[in-house]
Amino acid sequence: MVMWRALVQRELQLLGRQKADWLNPLVFFLLVLSLFPLGIGPEPGMLKQIAPGLVWIAALLSVLLSAERLFKDDYRYGVIEQLVAGRQGLFSYVTAKICCHWLSTGVPLVLVSPLIAVLLGLDWQSWQVLVVTLLLGTPVLSLLSVLGAALTMAADKGGILQALIILPLYIPLLIFASGAMEAAATALPYTGQLAVLLAFLLFALALVPLAVRQALRMNVG
């Protein structure tokens, strides 16, 4: 636990030094969403109808954007090689990385969601559902992005490769998250979709850290 706390602290120190790593995705998210009312026209009915898909597509792409450099520096400077050789710290390192990635990309999206609700003309109820889907869905986005980053960290230009590996895995999430929001907008029950999102989260939480650890070992060996 002491070790884990120190590792999280290190990640936060790095985020503090490299602010672009978490500010860029957030700014990208806000930019994309603020352009839609301008491009499509400010008609509230229309925006409200497409809002669920829009918010989630923007969230997917912004998280993807943030993940490319996740392991690059640690790989280049030999940190990961030495972690793999030492073994016992590797799993804590992976979980700290995932945690801090979510804190730096998922949580800001939740925090700016009231602003998004205003931009897209969402009502109180829709905003609440948006927050719940973001809270359940963004950790899954972070988990999958970290996996993609771990698989492609040794590749020179891994960005596109990572998108190709990870985007198909994002799609079920996109469908169920925007499905929940659409159902809520038309006053239908949406707990089913939320339960599926929760199931995704628990499943990913159980398996992805182990897969990431293995991917790091594979890339070093």
Partner 1 sequence: MSIILAAEALSCVRQDRVLFENLNFQLSAGQVLYIQGKNGAGKSSLLRLLAGLTLPEDGQILFRGKPLSGQSEEFAEQLLFIGHHSGIHPQLTALQNLAFWSALSEQAVADPYQLLGSLGLAGLEDIPCFMLSAGQQRRVSLARLWFSTKPVWILDEPFTSLDQQLIATLEQHFLQHLAKGGLIVLTSHQSLSADYPALQAIELEYRW
Report the interface residues with partner 1, using CB under 8 A.
Answer: 2-3, 5-7, 9-10, 13-14, 17-18, 73-74, 76-79, 81-89, 93, 220-221
For the bound state, the minimum distance from the C-beta of residue 10 to partner 1, rounded and expressed in Å, comes to 5
| Closest CB 23 distance from partner 1, rounded Å | 15
Question: Using CA atoms, how far apart are residues 177 and 201, in angstroms rounded to an integer?
Answer: 12
133/117 Cα distance (integer angstroms)? 14
Provide, rounded to whole angstroms, the least separation between the CB of residue 84 and partner 1.
6
**Whole-angstrom distance, CA of residue 139 vs CA of residue 137:** 6
Which phi and psi (to 5°) does residue 153 adopt? Answer: -65, -25
User: Which C-beta is closer to partner 1: that of 7 or that of 144?
Assistant: 7
- Residue among 130, 135, 134, 133 nearest 117 (CA): 130
- The residue among 76 and 188 lying less far from partner 1, judged by its C-beta, is 76
Q: Is the CB of 76 or the CB of 160 nearer to partner 1?
A: 76
Q: For partner 1, which is the closer residue by CB, 4 or 28?
A: 4
* Rounded Cα distance, 146 and 210, in Å: 12
